[in-house]
Amino acid sequence: MNPGGKTLILIGLAACTAGAQINLFSHVVVIFQENRTPDNLFQGLCSAPFGSADSCSPNPTASQYNIQTRNWLDKTSSTGVTQPGTVKLANKYDLSHAHSAFVKQCNQDPLTGACRMDGGAGVACTGTCLSKPQYRYVDNSAGIVNPYLQLATQYGWANYMFQTNQGPSFPAHQFIFGGTSAPTAADDAAGIYASENMSGASSVAGCTAPVGTTVELIDPSGENQKVYPCFEHSTMADLFAGPVTWRYYTPSAGSIWTAPNAIQHICQSTGPGGECAGTDWTNNVDLKPADVLTDIGNCALRSVSWVIPTGANSDHAHVNDGGGPSWVSAIVNAIGNSSTCDGNRGYWDDTAIVIAWDDWGGWYDHVQPTFLAQPEGDYQYGFRVPMVFVSAYTPAGYINNERHDFGSILRFIEHNFGIKEGALNFADARATNELAGFYDIGKAPRKFVTVDAPKSATFFLQDKRKATDPDDDGDDR
């Protein structure tokens, strides 16, 4: 179902006139993990067995990873820098990643307008916080993030992937699904965006949130409005026509990580405090993330899939149990090793997998974001997040040095399925590329090599623990 019934007419025409925009992949899988930066999670790219000190540089050549391992900027230090310490992936504290935390960590220079990237010491921390808690990188001495490092070095790594929004999970997930966190298309054009997570009656998000639930908006004058978190505008799913299908895997119906619940024509809420009852919702939103593994095994993978993890597998500080690298690897391995689907060819030769993290999580990163022009520039772009592109047509060890954001992923999906690029006129239109550098469909497909991980798909399919949301409280302040 589409607002006003206009979108599919536009896309039907675009599909006929796209010319060089041909179908490249039958399936695109977007795996959306939680709350990390490249400097925090991917320091292992700079040491054996996946690399060396020469593999990384804060000023990289075309073949180096843009990871900084020392001399992180710290305005509270007498030297202006600090040396990072280690932290477990399943650590016991959480850093604020609200928009206010972005402002502090950016520490914008009033003369140049650029982030100084030295303000992390002012960011709030909850739980059992270590000293200088944001100035830390994941301890990989036991190889816990090796599956991520194997994927990054065997496929495509983005040196300059930025979250589109300058804030936490609710707006980030709106951007990856619909290209904007604005309540309406008119608000997007005016630079008015949902900028935070829920506040008020509960942490339940979207069109089924209880009465009294609100989300803060940011506009060119600042964060000075609050609205009920039920929006109405087109999303990427509304652009799909004909044989192009979609599914959104997520742990629960009402969370801030379940983007379709905040889109009224998809949710079709029974009312505040109720439930989503729309046909698009019931046909396409799956409230058990491990079902993506079942669907792959049953040859039922949709054309486009968004995959949201449970809390244990999310990489989100304070709630994950270290399962994230195995969770992501299980999905990649299931696709790579499938052999009976799509006319007995298997999924590997016709599927692209994009692995990205939804926001920076309060962790340090040394790369300055580029701000858009007004009015979008008051909330776009945010800090750098990791992104890995996996396909049979991606060279091993490929490093991409273009600047990307979540809109680039949407633009790639549009390009792949013959939809006019930028058709939503949101972040997809503002993006400058469609990830074309990450694959060459003209080359012979590479043979898949299974990713080594402690836990296999069987573990996740048989996991009887209650599926929790990617964070335990829905409040990233």
Rounded Cα–Cα distance for residues 399 and 129 (Å):
34
Q: Work out the pLDDT band at 5, boundaries 50, 70, 90.
A: very low
Nearest-10 Cα torsion for 476, 135, 144, 175: 40
Residue 128 covered by a domain? no
Cβ pair 299, 290 in contact under 8 A? no
Judge whether 238 and 264 are in contact, CB under 8 Å. no
In a domain, 82, yes or no: no
User: Rounded mean pLDDT of 76-89?
Assistant: 96
CATH assignment of the domain containing 297: 3.40.720
* Angstrom distance (rounded) from CA 182 to CA 188: 5
Per-residue pLDDT at 13: 32
Asked whether residue 377 is assigned to any structural domain, the reply reads: yes
Residue 42 to residues 75, 302, 370, 462: CA-CA distances in angstroms? 24, 30, 22, 29
Split at pLDDT 50, 70, 90, the class of 381 is very high
The reported pTM is: 0.94
CA–CA separation, 165 vs 23, rounded Å?
29
309 pLDDT tier (thresholds 50, 70, 90): very high
Residue 115 to residue 276: CA distance in whole angstroms:
41
Number of domains in the chain: 1
Q: Are 30 and 307 in contact (CB under 8 A)?
A: yes
Q: Is the pLDDT of residue 275 over 90?
A: yes
| Mean pLDDT of the region 145-159 | 98
102 domain-assigned: no
HEC secondary structure over 60-118: CCCCCECCCCCCEECCCCCCCEECCEEECCCCCEEECCCHHHHHHHHCECCCCCCECCC
pLDDT band at residue 10 using 50, 70 and 90 as cut-offs = very low
The residue that leads in pLDDT, 246 or 320, is 246
In a domain, 233, yes or no: yes
* H/E element, 412: helix 406-416
Strand 214-219 and strand 193-199: the pairing is: antiparallel
CB 107 within 8 A of CB 96: no
| Within-domain flag for 92 | no
Structural domain that includes position 227:
3-70+143-462
Each residue's pLDDT tens digit, 241-251:
989 999 999 99
Q: How far apart are CA 357 and CA 32, in angstroms?
A: 5
Q: What is the percent of the chain with per-residue pLDDT over 70, rounded to a whole number? A: 93
Amino acid at 433: N
To the nearest whole number, what is the mean pLDDT of the chain?
92
Confidence of residue 223 (pLDDT cuts 50, 70, 90): confident
CB 439 within 8 A of CB 395: no
What does each C-alpha distance from 409 to 31, 130, 167, 196, 353 come to in angstroms?
11, 35, 19, 22, 11
Q: Is residue 115 part of a domain?
A: no
Q: Is residue 249 part of a domain?
A: yes
In the predicted model, what is the mean pLDDT of residues 346-361? Answer: 97
Kindly indicate the confidence band of residue 22, based on its pLDDT and cuts at 50, 70 and 90.
Answer: very low
Instruction: Tell me how many degrees the CA angle 423-429-435 measures, rounded to the nearest 5.
Output: 100
Does residue 463 register a pLDDT over 80? yes
pLDDT at site 350? 95
DSSP H or E segment with residue 217: strand 214-219
3-state secondary structure 234-281: CCHHHHCCCCCCEEEECCCCCCCCCHHHHEHHHHCECCCCCCECCHHH
Whole-Å CA distances, 67 to 53, 57, 104, 384 = 10, 6, 22, 11
> What end-to-end distance do the CA atoms of the chain give, in Å?
35
Is residue 237 pLDDT above 80, yes or no? yes
Q: For position 2, what pLDDT does the model report?
A: 43
